[in-house]
């Protein structure tokens, strides 16, 4: 019995040595799991930060005022696709407003003056072309006088010239349209949110700048 009692501690020694080993393994496992959780949290957090920092897209402005001062009303003598002369790619979306000679013509939208002189196309007479922030241009033709110079910036509502009867015009009026700045091809547009038809008398809300 004494011999057995002496052997018992020795017999259980391997078990007592194995306990610290399991503890170390558990500790290492917990450490690995904590690191993995930290990495996963960091990865998941990155998209949220990136999305929060993204700026909203700027809206493009395709709203145009009528090309004469607020409170005034003139007859549309010929609207878009008018059969008299508003045909073909360069005029089909234009308006002719019955302004008498030497009446104020207003910028339909703010922009930079590209042309303000006699047109290289004699039919237009004296013309003004303004480039806007949306990449399109507005065209004002048959004027008696253009006020600004090429490169000038004008706000919406600013008086840019005086109506007239220059070029291929049978009577005093203002020829107005939205065009491609490079090709001068007409672009469909609305004025103050609608399309004035031939014979209508649209009232302007284009406040003077």
Name residue 136's beta-bridge partners.
Answer: 180
| pLDDT computed for residue 60 by the predictor | 75
- For range 174-180, the mean pLDDT: 98
**What is d(CA 125, CA 168) in angstroms, rounded to the nearest whole number?**
7
Residue-level pLDDT at 142: 98
94-106 confidence digits (pLDDT tens): 999 999 999 999 9
Q: Is residue 71 pLDDT above 70, yes or no?
A: yes
In this structure, what token pair is assigned to residue 143? 């004027």
Task: Inform me whether the pLDDT recorded for 167 exceeds 60.
Answer: yes
Residue 29 confidence (pLDDT): 54
Is pLDDT of 172 > 60?
A: yes
Question: Percent helix, strand, coil in the chain (nearest 5)?
Answer: 25, 25, 50
User: Rounded to a whole number, what is the distance in angstroms from the first to the last CA of the chain?
Assistant: 115
Q: 203, 159, 169, 206: which is closest to 94 by C-alpha? A: 169
Average pLDDT estimate for 177-185 = 98
Rg (CA), the chain: 38
**Distance from chain centroid for Cα 204:** 24
pTM over 0.85: no
């Amino acid at each position: 019995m004494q011999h057995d009692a002496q052997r018992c501690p020795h017999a259980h020694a391997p078990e007592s040595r194995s306990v610290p080993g399991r503890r170390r393994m558990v500790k290492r496992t917990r450490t690995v799991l904590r690191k993995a959780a930290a990495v996963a949290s960091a990865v998941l957090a990155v998209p949220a930060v990136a999305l929060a920092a993204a700026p909203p897209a700027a809206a493009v402005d395709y709203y145009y005022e009528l090309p004469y001062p607020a409170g005034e009303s003139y007859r549309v003598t010929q609207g878009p696709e008018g059969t008299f002369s508003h045909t073909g790619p360069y005029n089909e979306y234009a308006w002719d407003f019955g302004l008498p000679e030497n009446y104020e013509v207003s910028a339909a939208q703010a922009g930079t003056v590209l042309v303000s002189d006699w047109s290289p196309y004699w039919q237009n007479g004296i013309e003004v072309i303004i480039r806007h922030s949306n990449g399109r241009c507005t065209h004002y033709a048959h004027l008696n006088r253009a006020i600004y110079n090429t490169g000038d910036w004008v706000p919406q509502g600013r008086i840019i010239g005086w109506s007239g009867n220059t070029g291929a015009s049978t009577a005093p009026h203002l020829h107005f349209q939205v065009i491609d700045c490079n090709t001068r091809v007409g672009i469909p547009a609305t004025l103050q949110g609608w399309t004035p038809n031939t014979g209508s008398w649209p009232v302007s809300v284009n406040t003077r700048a």
